[in-house]
Amino acid sequence: MATRPRKAAGRRDVPVFELSGGRPALDFANTVDNRPTSRRKDLLRDYGDLAAWARQAGVVPEAGARALLAEAARRPAAAARALARAVALREALYRAFSKLSAGGAPAAADLALLESEARLGAARGRLAREAGRYAWKSAAPARDLDRVLWTVVRDAVELLTSDRLALVRECAAIDCGWLFTDESRNRSRVWCDMAVCGNRAKARRHYAKSRGRSRRPARSRRGPRPSRR
């Protein structure tokens, strides 16, 4: 949608992403606006956008994002390759979860790409104890330009192999296509964001209804025609 991403106040170079997917993997798949339309807009235009998304989504800390930006500036060709790899993963995730949300099955090629990335990510991980519990953490160097992918891939695999997969939905707006997990009480959520897509749909229905009323022929104020008998 045209309202995303916005710019942070006072910082023209930092986009602000809307994170309404409920999971990092879905928020990552949602980094395209107007996906089903001819006005499709890729929100990951360069590696800086990828690092900004990762920081805002909690995939990397502030210091980690700065380290990635510095490395991308030092190795622009490697940053371009990392971005292309990220976009390929994003598209595979979108196609897979979109089909699953509609009751279908992901393409074998998309699952194969996710599995390949998951294997690479696992090789760069380690078990770490935090706050009395263990968690799988990335052990990739801070300047590893691909490290943004590992948390996304791990989250995608966790979602695919959990009962929460049944909660994945695709926004009902005809010009959106964003994915989200339906956490509503009666599992009736249909919009990625009620304040954006929901209100737009309501406005469209109201406009259509108003036009329908305006096109109806005006009723005669006269009484019924007299009978010809």
Three-state SS for the chain is: CCCCCEEECCEEEEEECCCCCCCHHHHHHCCEECCCCCCCEECCCCHHHHHHHHHHCCCCCHHHHHHHHHHHHHCHHHHHHHHHHHHHHHHHHHHHHHHHHCCCCCCHHHHHHHHHHHHHHHHCEEEEEECCEEEEEECCCCCCCCHHHHHHHHHHHHHHCCHHHHHEEECCCCCCCCEEECCCCCCCCCCCCHHHHHHHHHHHHHHHHHHHHHHCCCCCCCCCCCCCC
pLDDT in tens, 128-183: 787 788 776 666 676 799 999 999 999 999 999 999 999 999 999 988 999 999 99
Q: pTM value?
A: 0.80
- Residues with Cβ < 8 Å from 34, sequence gap 6 or more? 1, 2, 40, 41, 175, 176
pLDDT in tens, 96-124: 999 999 999 999 999 999 999 999 988 77
Q: Are strands 125-130 and 133-138 parallel, antiparallel or unpaired?
A: antiparallel
Confidence class for position 227, pLDDT limits 50, 70, 90 = very low
pLDDT at residue 193 in the model: 84
CA 209 centroid distance within chain: 31
Whether 9 shows a pLDDT value over 70: the answer reads: no
Q: Is pLDDT at 3 greater than 60 in this prediction?
A: no
Cα Rg, the chain, nearest whole Å: 23
Banded model confidence at residue 11, pLDDT cuts 50, 70, 90? very low
Confidence of residue 13 (pLDDT cuts 50, 70, 90): low
First vs last Cα of the chain: how many Å apart?
63
Task: Give me the helix-helix angle, 76-101 and 147-160, nearest 10°.
Answer: 10
* Phi, psi (deg, nearest 5) at residue 154: -60, -40
What is the pLDDT, as a whole number, of residue 167? Answer: 97
What domains are defined for the chain?
Answer: 6-166 (1.10.3300.10)
